[in-house]
Each structure stands twice: as structure tokens, then as C-alpha cells.
Amino acid sequence: MLDAPVVDAKGRDAMFETLDDCLTDCRNRLIRAPRDRRSPMHTPVVVSADVDARVMVLRAFDGEGWALRFHTDARAPKAEAFAADPRAGLLFYDKGTKVQIRARGVAEILAAGPQVDAAWAASTNFARRCYLGDGPGSASDVPTSGLPPEFEGAEPDDEQLVPARENFALLRITLLSLDWLYLAHTGHVRAQFVRGDSVAAWEGRWVSP
């Protein structure tokens, strides 16, 4: 767990005195989030341009390109939504350290290629079985997991999982704006960062909470 913020003799936060401090905090939290399931930022809220929101597991973070990676079903409504409009919003919150990060970026659905192959290879068969069933949002007359009955609570073998591969995809979101907020009893602190594209440098400013 990240340490609690350090305060100076006047009770002010001494960890976030510069914009670089805040940007570094964003980066460090995003680096930790996919590696540590106990991280409060491991499961952010992801919002598509059709104003639909869902909690997703953050699988990887590229600290150089500031890109997030999630797993998704290629048949899911969000895949279609992001294909139609790549704008994405994200919300991360760490209750323990009272830090909130709101982010925006450009999303893309990757259904093939080395990154997708590597992510599939790194998944367990039990996780892969999620892509064997009916597509997300498929209607049912009864409560259902969507899985074929033979895989309810059972782990398929590699051969049985062959049909699932075509349904597996990655959601990659390249971040272009960050809104960092620290909730402090002495007074909240907020910073914003933007960049024009995936290779541009971040530009930051302090704003009122």
C-alpha cells in the first residue's frame, strides 16, 4: 500500500508541492494498479462515449506511452461503442490515501496481433472460458452465466478453448488528460495535465478543487 501523505509542521501536505510531484504520483499509482490486486486502483470505472460505465480490471500500464490495457469480449457492446467513438473516460479512487484520478483518452479494440496473442497466452484456462459463452448482453429467460453447461465451474482444456480465442480482445486506452485530486483536511489540492497526442509532453496546471 502507498504510504500516507507526509505533512509539514503547519499540517500542509509535503508530498505534492510541485506539478511534477502530482504527475509522478499518477504514474506510480498506475504502474502499481495492474500488478497488485489489492490496489484500490486495480479496478477503475471505464466510461465509453455512449455514456455507459463499467468497472474493469486493469491488466497492464505502459508508463512510457501512458496507455492502459484491459481484456474484453470482442462481442461486447463496449467494443462496438469504442469502435464508433474512441473517446474514453476513467475514474480511479484510493480511499486510503484520498487520491482521485479522472482521466480521458483514446480507445482502440485490438482483436489480433502480438499483444493480443501474448495476453491470451498469459491467461489461465479458467479465465479464458469466459469467452466460450454467449456474447455479453445476450438475452436469457433465466439467470445465466452465459457459459455452456459443461463449463459451469469447470476448467476447459486447450482444445475446448479454441473457439473462445476469436472472442477475446484487448481494450487499449492512450491517456491524453489527467485530473488529479488529493482530499486533505487542510484543504484539497487539484492538478490537471493534458497533452496533444501520445508522444507529446504533459502540460500541467493547478486548479481550484
- Helix (H) or strand (E) holding 93, with range, is strand 87-94
Retrieve residue 30's grid coordinates.
Answer: 498506475
102 found inside a domain? yes
| Gap between the Cα atoms of 37 and 14, Å rounded | 28
CA 95 to mean position of chain CA atoms: 17
96 found inside a domain? yes
How confident is the model over 90-120, as pLDDT tens digits? 999 999 999 999 999 999 999 999 999 999 9
63 found inside a domain? yes
- pLDDT average, residue stretch 147-166: 89
How confident is the model over 168-196, as pLDDT tens digits? 999 999 999 999 999 988 889 999 999 99
Which of the four pLDDT bands, split at 50, 70 and 90, describes residue 151?
A: confident
68 found inside a domain? yes
Is residue 154 pLDDT above 60, yes or no? yes
6 found inside a domain? no
| Gap between the Cα atoms of 108 and 106, Å rounded | 7
Q: What is the pLDDT of residue 9?
A: 39
pTM over 0.75: yes
Tell me the percentage of the chain whose pLDDT exceeds 90: 79
Q: What is the pLDDT of residue 6?
A: 42
Q: What CATH number is attached to the domain comprising 67?
A: 2.30.110.10
Report the candidate in 180, 79, 96, 94 with the shortest Cα–Cα distance to residue 135. Answer: 79
Report the candidate in 177, 192, 204, 180 with the shortest Cα–Cα distance to residue 66. Answer: 177
87 found inside a domain? yes
How confident is the model over 41-98, as pLDDT tens digits? 999 999 999 999 999 999 999 999 999 999 999 999 999 999 999 999 999 999 999 9
5 found inside a domain? no
Burial of residue 113 (CB within 10 Å: 0-12, 13-18, 19+) is exposed
- Give the side-chain half-sphere CA count within 13 A for 84: 8
Domain count, the chain: 1
Provide the residue range defining the domain that includes 32.
19-207
9 found inside a domain? no
3-class DSSP state of 165? helix
